[in-house]
Chain A
């Protein structure tokens, strides 16, 4: 083992199911043919939470691909992670009043590399051949069910595509093309692969640049996984294609904006702390709306749609919100 390898807590493969179990701090994770089991101890009592292995793996896939993202990744109403930028908190029941009020919630902070290596190893072990936790259910079927059956490391190791300025510029992220094995998705027959007509004067070919963003999105092979496709200082365009249900409930640690580029997504909005329903936001093509800093949200997209997630990546923001220096929404402006 290389000197830099991170030691994680993992059991040998189960004789019965073939899957390994994992431990990090006071949390343990196990799976069988149908379910993932998360256990912890609170008030001297052992507690367990059961999720569909499919739902659990879809959530772990996003946590890994997004590097724990901004704010909170609620796997469901009980378990999730909180981004602490360099470290990450795992929690159970912390944002669920039924557990919280009884003192049965539990949370523990880990160094991000340990948490990441634990989840990455779990994801590789628990993902069977032919199952892709990034794909829509229509595309990936029921390969997640049953005893351990091969793996799909090519799918779960896919990395988030992040540009420095804009894809296609010299030295920046590549465009998606047939040649680099990124064909257009069947859900977007109306997004033609044409490119803008660019006529640079001599000497300016590296600066006069445009590309077909909708075409770029139509070539996304994953769902609910924002790329970074244009950057103005800390202003990040993070477009993504969405189908079926966002596998997590994202809790914001800052104001986040959505621009619906095509089709429709329905967003269920809940209170970030308690999970109590607040609103349903129905977004259609051309709509622009805030996801406020005090909510969690989950999207439902019947038809694979194009969503522009717009983020302010300023690392100072969470502390500014905690100090009450920034409003959670813009209602004070009108």
Chain B
């Protein structure tokens, strides 16, 4: 199989994730879209690993790490969302614009 479809799919996933970040109003939805992006990157890594036939399987190792870190990040992210919700009673990302001029 050619590599290219996989790469294009990963790129598509990536851009869909970007779209999601830019468009979604709920903070949790934004975090969801971030997961999409990370997933796209995972696909890329594994595809390259398959392409290269690496003896050290670096692509897959790295993918494992990414997944781990993503999980940690989601944990922290949702804790922060929790705090935000407690303080502001809303999860609308447009409401959190205190850091403006």
- Genuine A/B complex: no
Could you list which residues of chain B lie within 8 angstroms of chain A, going by C-beta atoms?
A: none
